Amino acid sequence: MKIAQRFKLAAAASVIGLSFSTMAATPAAQDTAKPSVVIVHGAFADGSDWAKVIPLLQAKGLHVVAVQNPLTSLEDDVAAAKRAIDAQPGKVVLVGHSWGGSVITEAGADDKVSSLVYVAAFAPDAGQTSAELGKDYPPAPGFAHIVADKSGFLSLTKEGMSKHFAQDLPAAATAVMTATQGPILGKSFEQKISVAAWKTKPSWYLATGADHMIQPALQLDMAKKIGAHLTRVNSSHVPQQSQPAKVAEVILDAVRQSK
């Protein structure tokens, strides 16, 4: 190959490399203008549980990531949340539903997390387990429809999903939710939280008044305990599916006030 041809190829490669580096840098620069939203789903669900809320947040120009929890232990779920947090270019608004509230309580201690949003979620203190939060309240009706397999993983029956987890959704929707639910290792609820991020981070709480999984009175007491901005909706345990616009607005409020 002639020297002139080699020079042209080297120059072209340099231009291509510069173009790719510019393309890679531009989104990151844009993303840091607003915090990313990282969502942690609860037990008996997966990331698709947030499919109605995510587009509403994206329409506001937000980068959104739904964590896929392994649901094998508190430690494993916290690690999954932390990986998602680490992958974001700037600050993070961390959202947790149900069991996901316990996860964000610990994972939210990360310096990149600017605020926490609890959606019908557990909000334990350091040294507490999720299970002990409800000990002073009547058992939630949905608990009677939780079944365990031989490995100790818990799941909801079809009736539990349709009449207690998501009773305000149509049967076609709850049938899919039953089929796609993520079983959780029962011992996870007995594991203690090591740190309570809500003590140092501003928090929002969306409480669900027709909840059959976490007693509404318990939700209100937890919201008060953590000093959260409180919003109430009359919904089942999954307002992200039955009233997604209201859930999105709570998250957007946290985004607007993030520093």
pLDDT tens-place string over residues 182-231:
999 999 999 999 999 999 999 999 999 999 999 999 999 999 999 999 99
21-35, 103-117, 240-254: segment of lowest average pLDDT? 21-35
Q: Quote the CA–CA distance of 227 and 155 in Å, as a whole number.
A: 32
**82: its two tokens:** 């932390």
The single-letter DSSP state of residue 165 is I
Specify the pTM.
0.88
Tokens of 58: 């994206």
pLDDT category of residue 33 using cuts at 50, 70 and 90? confident
Please report the domains of the chain, with CATH numbers, ordered by start residue: 34-256 (3.40.50.1820)
Rg of the chain (C-alpha set) = 21
Tens-digit pLDDT profile for residues 83-108: 999 999 999 999 999 999 999 999 99
Mean pLDDT score, 28-52: 86
Q: What is the DSSP letter of 130?
A: S
Contacts 24+ apart (CB under 8 A), 136-142: 137/215, 137/217, 137/218, 138/215, 140/164, 140/211, 140/212, 140/213, 140/214, 140/215, 141/212, 142/212, 142/213, 142/237
Confidence of residue 147 (pLDDT cuts 50, 70, 90): very high
Helix (H, G, I), strand (E, B) or coil at 27: helix
pLDDT digits (tens, 9 = 90+) for 157-185: 999 999 999 999 999 999 999 999 999 99
pLDDT in tens, 43-57: 999 999 999 999 999
DSSP string, 45-65: --GGGGTTTHHHHHTTT--EE
pLDDT band at 32 (very low <50, low <70, confident <90, very high): low
